[in-house]
Amino acid sequence: MTESHPSPMPSRFSWTQAALVLIAGFAIMRIVALAISPVSLYQDESQYWVWSRHFDWGYYSKPPMIAWLIALSTQLVGDSDFAIRLPAPLLHTGTAIFLMLGARTLWDERAGFWAATLYLTLPAIWVSGFVISTDALLFCAWSGGLYALLRLRNDGGWWSAAGLGLALGFGFLSKYAMIYFLVSTGLAIVFDRPTRDALLGLKGVLALAIFTTLLAPNMAWNAANDFATVTHTAANANWGGDLFHFAEMSEFLLAQLGVFGPITLGVLITVFWLTLGRFFRVDADQRLLVLYSVPPLVVVALQAFISRAHANWAAATYVSGTLLVIGFLLRGATWRRWALFGSIGLHSALGLLVVAVAGSPALVEVMGLGDATKRIRAWDETADAIVEAANADDYAVIVFDDRNAFHQMQRYAPELEGRMAMWLRLAGPANHAEDVWPLSEDQDGRLLIVSNRPREVARLREDFIQFEPVGELAIELDDGFTRDFSLWTAQGHQRVARDEAYEIRWREHDEADTTTPLRGYSGEDE
């Protein structure tokens, strides 16, 4: 992996200049696309925006960085959906730059150009580039930390050590999956002498000091809030149910084809296999990149086997993985370059199709993809319909059984602020909405129940003295799909104890019910 990759460019235009032009072009394209996008915020994006209105050192299910960035963006650009999402393409721009610099440190400028190009055209990045998510922050911190480490291994100075500490700190303030970076660093100290020499000294102490200083306020917040974020993370792992699921693990692994691309994933797995097969004989740089790629993928694949895992939970693998693939495809037989060019072309075609589908309801209908876009359509219309229902009578509180709809109404129905509450399905709160806005145990007056979960209606009815239907809403979406709500008026909130007998009774009820749609309760699942 230390071989050079000679390929002449005109002397007046270097590979680095070409990379910067490409990176800037992608950033401008994505920002313009965001500015004209008709797509509503996804429910998690609305939740992050809700967090951003109140500064804190942590939030129910995530560290604080995403809320801070949204707050900064909306203060500078205005409180629009565009401003909420604006940090996403900027963060991916930062990641592409760090990967370019990392590849240039490992090899040469040509490798830096292709590393940036491959990253910006990955299937997952075509989607993530238009969505504000914690993954975008994680990628930027991970790539920045990796670049700082590579500099340190090459006799980098104190600024490189400080950069590593900053990347670690900001990474953990963005997403706790940054812990894989620490795991990889521990492995690198054991198996990579340059890393060991760089970190087991005063520069390593500086990096650690900066990291712990940045992380300390968030840890203090967690301690003061019963470690809410840690508890949520453990709940997401879902180890309390039936264990060992071959189907879940297979589904997770197949989903990685859509995250990293079929050819590039095949190349990455090949490099893993070749490296692990002769671990102590391969080039030290290649071994290091494998150490920073394998842990997230292995751990999350095991998590999927034990319980479940979403496709993006191992996304950190593909930051270092991008460099591994570039190092492999830019040397050796000519077919490798064609594999690289083909992958970039395929990813770009698929990415442009995704962007076109998201922006064109007509194209969604032609392709029959209404199920894929139903969560990002017509939230303004949904808000108008719910506001009209809320104003139809003298309701004291508007109650929701779905945290997704609740957060979307916080964003798109500001006139309902202060009038909304969440019904609690479990003994205690299972998401941010239930934690901060629970329906009071002694709530008086007439309530409007807005139910988005048919299976919960029977449970809802049991918690009130009076409970009567008042209508239904069906919001038209793409391709004949609708967003459906049932409306109920209720009084006399008397919450039934959520004890073991309650759960057994309703579990038996669900098993016997073969007619009600299965869309039941879920907590936060990000």
Q: What is the largest CA-CA distance in the chain?
A: 81
Is residue 295 helix, strand or coil?
helix
Considering Cα of 380, then 382, then 383, then 388, what sign does the dihedral take? positive
Asked whether the CA dihedral 59, 62, 64, 69 is positive or negative, the reply is negative
Q: What pLDDT, on the 0 to 100 scale, is given for residue 415?
A: 95
Close Cβ partners of 219 (under 8 Å, ≥ 6 residues apart): none
pLDDT at 24: 98
Q: Please tell me the distance from the alpha carbon of residue 507 to that of residue 410, in angstroms, as a whole number.
A: 32
Distance of alpha carbon 333 from alpha carbon 342, whole angstroms: 15
Interatomic CA distance for residues 365 and 358, integer angstroms: 11
Q: For the chain, give every domain's residue range.
A: 15-359, 375-512
pLDDT in the model for residue 233 = 62
3-state class (DSSP) for residue 167 = helix
Tokens of 193: 């002498």
Hey, what are 237's tokens?
A: 């792992």
The DSSP letter of residue 438 is: B
Q: State the pLDDT at residue 131.
A: 94
Look up the pTM and report it: 0.91
Which residue carries 């008086």 as its tokens?
444
Q: Which two tokens stand for residue 212?
A: 């712990």
pLDDT tens for residues 397-425?
A: 999 999 999 999 999 999 999 999 999 99
Whole-angstrom distance, CA of residue 175 vs CA of residue 66: 9
Q: Show the DSSP H helices in 330-378 as ranges.
A: 334-359, 361-367, 370-373
Flag residues of the chain having pLDDT under 50.
Answer: 2, 4, 10-11, 520-523, 525-526
User: What is the distance, to the nearest Å, from the Cα of residue 459 to the centroid of all Cα atoms in its chain?
Assistant: 32
Q: Are strands 482-493 and 420-422 parallel, antiparallel or unpaired?
A: unpaired
Q: Residue 469: what pLDDT?
A: 96
Beta bridge partners of 467: 490
Task: Report yes or no: 196 and 85 within 8 Å, Cβ to Cβ.
Answer: no
